[in-house]
Amino acid sequence: MEEKQSASLERRSAVATLLQDIDDNTLLVASVGTPTLDVAAASERPQNFYGRGAMGTASSVALGLALAQGEKRVIAVLGDAELLMTAGTLATIAVMAPENLSLVVIDNERYGETGLQIAATAFGVDIAGMAAAAGLSPTAVIRTEADLHGALDAIRIGPGPSLHVIKVRPEKPEKVPLAYDGVYLKNRFRRALFGDEGIT
């Protein structure tokens, strides 16, 4: 396949739009590296679970969380390489079909965190198409501000499991200060959900 180049959206502002005034009933899962820092830059809060270092795990974590926390909305903000690393999870999500789960793929067509090496979606691999074929609904590719605003309700409150791909420019945004201690972040998240009884 040939390499393609198209996106004009900037990832930090797209994620800020996505998460603007997000409510306490929404749990956020963010994948390793740049998506984690996108989410932290937009809305750092205890109800966020960050995949610090653990590439490939975020869609499964988000699925489990959506099933276990059926009264909450779960939005997973994922890298394209992250999603593809464990793409079989799309099948499990389709079969389990939690309506409260929204996957949002920040698709820069690169392994951004490790130096912007070219990744599969640059050659036309269609993550939204893969998700639709698995059975997720709705699915869509977002390329403009207007597309993004048009998809906000579907992502934030609409029935899922959904998957939206946001095509963004391949940039390396600034680092954001955020704890790197996974146990601390996990305990903080559990405390936000269950209070002190959630800490074992």
Q: Site residues (CB under 6 A) for ligand TPP? A: 31-35, 53, 55-56, 79-82, 106, 108, 110-114, 119
Which residue's CB comes closest to ligand TPP?
79
In whole angstroms, the minimum distance from the beta carbon of 56 to ligand TPP comes to 6
Closest alpha carbon to 34 in 60, 14, 5, 7 = 14
Which residue, 149 or 172, is less far from ligand TPP as judged by CB?
A: 172
Which residue, 159 or 170, is less far from ligand TPP as judged by CB?
A: 170
76 vs 97: CA distance, rounded Å: 15
Which residue, 106 or 155, is less far from ligand TPP as judged by CB?
A: 106
In whole angstroms, the minimum distance from the beta carbon of 7 to ligand TPP comes to 12
Which residue, 34 or 100, is less far from ligand TPP as judged by CB?
A: 34
In whole angstroms, the minimum distance from the beta carbon of 122 to ligand TPP comes to 11
Beta-bridged to residue 95, according to DSSP, are none
Which residue, 56 or 100, is less far from ligand TPP as judged by CB?
A: 56
Question: Quick one: 176 exposed, middle or buried, by C-beta within 10 A (0-12, 13-18, 19+)?
Answer: middle
Which residue, 31 or 162, is less far from ligand TPP as judged by CB?
A: 31
In whole angstroms, the minimum distance from the beta carbon of 25 to ligand TPP comes to 26
Kindly report whether the peptide bond that precedes residue 98 is cis, defined as omega within 30 degrees of 0.
no
In whole angstroms, the minimum distance from the beta carbon of 12 to ligand TPP comes to 11
Query: Hey, what are 183's tokens?
Result: 């146990």
Helix (H, G, I), strand (E, B) or coil at 141: strand
Largest CA distance in the chain: 53
Closest alpha carbon to 194 in 69, 22, 54 = 69
Inter-residue contact 93 to 58 (CB < 8 Å): no
In whole angstroms, the minimum distance from the beta carbon of 89 to ligand TPP comes to 14
Query: Hey, what are 83's tokens?
Result: 């999603």
- Residue showing tokens 């269950």: 194
